[in-house]
Amino acid sequence: MAKAIMIQGTMSNSGKSFFAAALCRIFKQDGYSCAPFKSQNMALNSYITSDGCEIGRAQAMQAEAAGVIPSVLMNPVLLKPTTDVGSQVIVNGKAVGNMTAAEYFKRKKELVPQIMESYAKLSAMNDIIVIEGAGSPVELNLKSDDIVNMGMAELAKAPVLLVGDIDRGGIFAQLLGTLGLFEKHELDMVKGLVVNKFRGDISLFDSGRDILEQRGGKPVLGVVPYLGCDIEDEDSLSHKLDSKSSKGIIDIAVISLPRMSNFTDFDVFAQYDGVGVRYVKKYDELGTPDMIIIPGTKSTIADMKWLRESGMELAVGRCAAKGVPVFGICGGFQMLGESISDPLCCEGGGSIKGMGLMKCRTVFGVEKVQTQSEGNFSDIDGFWSFLSGAEFRGYEIHMGTTESDSPELLDCGGAYEGNVCGCYIHGIFDSQYVSERLVRHLYERKGIAYRGGNVNREEYKQSQFDMLADGVRRSIDTDMLYRIIEEGI
């Protein structure tokens, strides 16, 4: 069975996912077989494994850092929020239904056997398991029957590292306050502290390290600087979603839907010279970009209603009428059509008129499509002809089926109508044959020759994992890390 190390944080977005990814990469570099694990994840960014199972995007990213194939064993429970008080519950990669928070809270302990079965299988195949917690481990009203923080640490007999985010301020209150709220047996499992996202001269925090160790009674494993690595972020608090981000020569506007999913689909564009991506929440922020993307969503009808009521539908329609290209992914593709219907209440029920920019109609059914996909763009006439024959790879996660009278965009579906198109493929832009042609075309529409090269997304991601691991390795006591893992609890 594998040794384990667990990463818990003082709050959401403290850097747990990135720190766990860094450890996965470090262990891989040091010759160990390693895998990530998160018993319960809540995220709208998800990934489909090769066998058609849905897991959190962060665990897929961490698996890539560890150099292993993403598996459903790495994230046995995934919650995808559908409303402010409810989520679709996914167990072992398959949806089992929608539950309110109260309903799930009452039933979550029933999932422990399935969680531990996944953990045991993963443990049997690896030397080290890097377990990630969720949010804060000391939300006192939610601690009973915990299955993701200290409850998971106890089940896995995993020593815990507690990560705090100094960039957001209050690092002493974060770390010391969290330690102070642990029960005695929980506190005994905490073996070290990590100060994360430090900006400036780290030597200025030497006295801070001493204070933490004296008052907290736990060693500080390291002070990690704010690393400028371009790693996929699953959290809705991501700085990438700031609508005030600067425009590039090429201005791509992504409509920031209230329940937007898989915004990592568009990370690849940051690798191209002169291309800026903005996430737009208000219609008056849209302007006239060079391209508009409507992303995926977990609640298509509700977000279509938001588009209409917020004025964003009208703003996008005006841009499309001016010739601005519009590309819809998954739920965004569905919204671009004529109608969306949910007769079986798969996502809340009802029906709504779509934007009407393509001749497509979507009906939700009980079956959820979860598959990896690859193929080619069709032989396209008109505006999108520059993508004809381009190879793509990606994955599909959707409830609806779409009938279309518009020409087919891909050899496996999708549609296009003039300067508007859409499909169900998440990750379609990661293919350099797609994103490079698209960027080049957008430059040419502005009368500018694109002089950048092709982007190999996979090579770039691997280089960023190495950069992340190197930055963390230089900042922590790796001898102490391995000693903590070896000694366990």
Enumerate long-range contacts of 267-272, CB under 8 Å, 24 or more apart. Answer: 267/230, 267/232, 267/240, 268/429, 268/430, 268/435, 268/455, 268/457, 269/429, 269/435, 269/439, 270/230, 271/230, 271/455, 271/457, 271/460, 272/435, 272/436, 272/439, 272/452, 272/455
Query: For the chain, what is the domain count?
Result: 2
Q: What is the pLDDT of residues 339-360, one digit of tens each?
A: 999 998 887 789 999 999 999 9
Residues 43 and 158 in one domain: yes
Q: Which of 229, 360, 421, 426 is catalytic?
A: 426
CA distance 203 to 194: 15
Tokens found for residue 100: 């309110």
Give me the pLDDT at residue 1, please.
87
pLDDT of 138 strictly over 70: yes
Residues 13 and 155 in one domain: yes
Whether residue 275 is contained in a domain is answered as yes
Mean pLDDT, to the nearest integer, of 275-289?
Answer: 95
Tokens found for residue 204: 């200025």
Residues 172 and 270 in one domain: no
Tokens found for residue 59: 């665990």
Give me the pLDDT at residue 84, please.
76
Helix (H) or strand (E) holding 36: strand 34-37
Residues 281 and 188 in one domain: no
Q: What is the pLDDT of residues 149-190, one digit of tens each?
A: 999 999 999 999 999 999 999 999 999 999 999 999 999 999
Identify whether 239 is a catalytic site residue.
Answer: no
| Residue 483 CB contacts under 8 Å (≥ 6 apart), including other chains | none
Residues 324 and 259 in one domain: yes
Residues 263 and 172 in one domain: no
Q: What is the pLDDT of residues 43-59, one digit of tens each?
A: 999 999 999 999 999 99
The residues pairing with 78 across neighbouring beta strands, listed in sequence order, are 41, 90
Whether residue 186 is contained in a domain is answered as yes
Whether residue 188 is contained in a domain is answered as yes
Whether residue 396 is contained in a domain is answered as yes
pLDDT of 391 strictly over 60: yes
CA distance 23 to 3: 13
Identify whether 426 is a catalytic site residue.
Answer: yes
Q: What is the pLDDT of residues 235-264, one digit of tens each?
A: 554 555 654 555 789 999 999 999 999 999
Domain extent, residue 311, equals 250-447
Q: What is the pLDDT of residues 453-484, one digit of tens each?
A: 778 899 999 999 999 999 999 999 999 999 99
Residues 226 and 268 in one domain: no
Residues 24 and 169 in one domain: yes
Helices (H), 84-149: 101-107, 112-124
Whether residue 180 is contained in a domain is answered as yes
Q: What is the pLDDT of residues 5-46, one digit of tens each?
A: 999 999 999 999 999 999 999 999 999 999 999 999 999 999
Q: Which of 330, 360, 421, 423 is catalytic?
A: 330
Helix (H) or strand (E) holding 415: strand 415-417
Tokens found for residue 63: 């698996």
Residues 207 and 294 in one domain: no
CA distance 99 to 101: 6
DSSP state of 389: T
CA distance 448 to 444: 5
Please give, one letter per residue, the 3-state secondary structure of 229-268.
Answer: CCCCCCCCCCHHHCCCCCCCCEEEEEECCCCEECHHHHHH
pLDDT of 449 strictly over 80: yes
Helices (H), 379-487: 432-445, 457-475, 478-487
**Residue 360 sits in a domain of what CATH number?**
3.40.50.880
Whether residue 239 is contained in a domain is answered as no
Q: What is the pLDDT of residues 75-95, one digit of tens each?
A: 999 999 887 778 999 999 999
Write the Ramachandran bin of 413: left for phi over 0, alpha for psi from -120 to 50, otherwise beta.
Answer: left
Residues 25 and 71 in one domain: yes
The residues pairing with 81 across neighbouring beta strands, listed in sequence order, are 87
Give me the pLDDT at residue 386, please.
97
Residues 185 and 304 in one domain: no
Give me the pLDDT at residue 196, please.
96
Tokens found for residue 444: 């040419």
Whether residue 240 is contained in a domain is answered as no
The residues pairing with 86 across neighbouring beta strands, listed in sequence order, are 100
Number of residues in the chain: 489
Whether residue 318 is contained in a domain is answered as yes
| Residue 76 CB contacts under 8 Å (≥ 6 apart), including other chains | 39, 40, 91, 92, 111, 114, 115, 117, 118, 119
The residues pairing with 252 across neighbouring beta strands, listed in sequence order, are 277, 291
The residues pairing with 94 across neighbouring beta strands, listed in sequence order, are 91
Ranges 266-275, 339-348, 424-433: which has the least confidence: 339-348
Residues 84 and 194 in one domain: yes
**Residue 480 sits in a domain of what CATH number?**
3.40.50.300
